[in-house]
Structure 1
């Protein structure tokens, strides 16, 4: 999501929370008579019946369309953004262009990590996150893995990835999960 959408979500959520907290606090204060000048009873009257007015269908129709458009706008702002994983590489070739598939490079980097003894499996992808291009690596490490070796391997893999792709605006994120059990060792059978 974009920063503006996240800011709007947080602002609306905060305002709704504050209104609900204030309403609950006022209800408790009224129930326990914290404000002695407040009325002890609330009287209501029947609201005027506008549903038979000539403007009523137009007003409800306009309100329904406004809510529908607001809902569609809200949904479209929350859709995940697709990222083109193919990038043009700088080249001296004049009659063509060189393309790099960033998803393939990220997947290869993750598989390279998975081939190491500290890692069990790995996957990767390119995605757009808040207007930034991010290479994500998802790896599972062994429970007994040396964390210094894991750190060195991930650092080397991301440096290699940046060198291969050559995209200056590329960021990276690495998610490491620890396997619950040790990898079963291969057993040999004696006949």
Structure 2
């Protein structure tokens, strides 16, 4: 989800809250008779003829379609974004761009992390997060894994990824999960 979507959600939530509080206060003041010149009853005779008009069903239909499209757009804005598929390398200029497919590069880095003693498996993806490029690794470790070794391997893999892509703005994020059971190790006879 983008920062713009989050900001819009917060603004609209605050606005809806303020409108509902204001309507509640106005309702209480109207019920208590403290609004002065506001009538005790609401007269809707001026708009009663709307539902009998030929344009009314069309207006409701168009309004419903517009609201449905806005709701669909809002829902789509909240879908998780896919990772970065192509990274631009330094040296790109108006005469040409140097691009690299992010998938094979991050897969190779995840494989390097998975070869660390105590790491059962690792997967990786590259995402944009708050204006930065983040190499996100999900690693499953054995229960007895040495966390210092795993952390050093993660730092090494991230450093090698930064060097290979020549991107100092790349940040590594490693999420560790502990395996449910330790794997049975092969026996040597």
Considering the TM-score relative to the shorter chain, is it more than 0.5?
yes
Provide the C-alpha distance between the structure 2 equivalents of 1:89 and 1:140, rounded to a whole number of angstroms.
33
Matched, 1:165 2:165: yes
Q: What is the CA RMSD across the aligned residues, in angstroms?
A: 3.6
The 8 Å contact of residues 86 and 102 in structure 2, kept in 1 or not, is answered as yes
Aligned to 1:108: 108
Partner of 1:84: 85
Is there any run of 5+ residues in structure 2 with no aligned partner, and where? 34-40
Instruction: Find the counterpart in structure 2 of residue 140 from structure 1.
Output: 140
CA shift, 1:90, in A, is: 3.0
Q: CA deviation at 1:158?
A: 0.9
1:15 & 1:146 partners in 2: Cα distance?
A: 50
Equivalent position of 1:186 in the other structure: 186
**1:177 Cα deviation (Å)?**
0.7
**2:51 aligned with 1:61:** no
Distance 1:181 1:56 in 2: 65
Tell me if the contact between 2:126 and 2:134 (Cα under 8 Å) persists in the aligned partners. yes
Q: Secondary structure at the match of 2:52?
A: coil
Question: Cα 1:130–1:67, aligned 2, differ >3 Å: closer, same or farther?
Answer: farther
Report the equivalent of 2:3: 3
TM value normalised by structure 1: 0.69
The total of aligned residue pairs comes to 173
Deviation sequence 1:111-150 (CA, Å, 0-9, x none): 1111111211111111233443221111111111222222
| Runs of 4+ that moved beyond 6 A | 17-20, 43-47
**1:121-132 map, 5 Å:** 121-132=121-132
TM-score by length of 2: 0.70
**Aligned match of 2:153:** 153
In structure 2, C-alpha distance between the alignment counterparts of 1:54 and 1:84, rounded to whole Å? 52
Checking the alignment, whether the CA contact within 8 Å between 1:102 and 1:165 is kept in structure 2 is: no
* SS of residue in 2 equivalent to 1:51: helix
CA distance in 1, matches of 2:51, 2:89: 62
Distance in 2 between residues matched to 1:151 and 1:102, nearest whole Å: 23
Kept in 2, the 8 Å contact 1:89–1:99? The answer is: no
